[in-house]
Structure 1
Amino acid sequence: MENNLIIFGSVTLAMKSRNLLLKNNIKSGLVRTPIHLNRKSCGYSLYVPENFERALEIIRSNGIAVKGTAAVDTL
């Protein structure tokens, strides 16, 4: 399974990233970070079902810090 979850340090960064991806025609959804992945984060992540690597590249190139990534089956 490939990564499809981007974990952030704040809900503000997650929302900013979601809007940035939307402007770049990449679908994503703001979700609660699964409890087993919620280590020192705000508890919110972006679920990116397609174009994950491109999404991560866009987020990082805009100076947004990412706490981590993960692969999840269901949310």
Structure 2
Amino acid sequence: MGVLWIDPGQGRNPGGGGGRRDCQRTSEGGESGTVGEVEALKLLTQRVEDHRNEQRCRQQQLDQPADQAGPRDW
């Protein structure tokens, strides 16, 4: 599984710069991202949660004792 890299400036600022200049400001001075940034963050959050759940399941499997069936006669 590869690493997901989300560039907030991707597609909006062809000259680079990481997209920080493209952030929108609200009248209260808070920062709100564009719809693309919000969707990308939701996707990243979901992938992180899925990965954590998968790792938790794997850890539980490792914590369970192996079946004690004994040696097999071949």
The TM-score with structure 1 as length reference comes to 0.23
1 or 2, which has the higher helix percentage? 2
1 or 2, which has the higher strand percentage? 1
Higher relative contact order (CA 8 A, sep 6+): 1
Q: Which has the larger radius of gyration?
A: 2
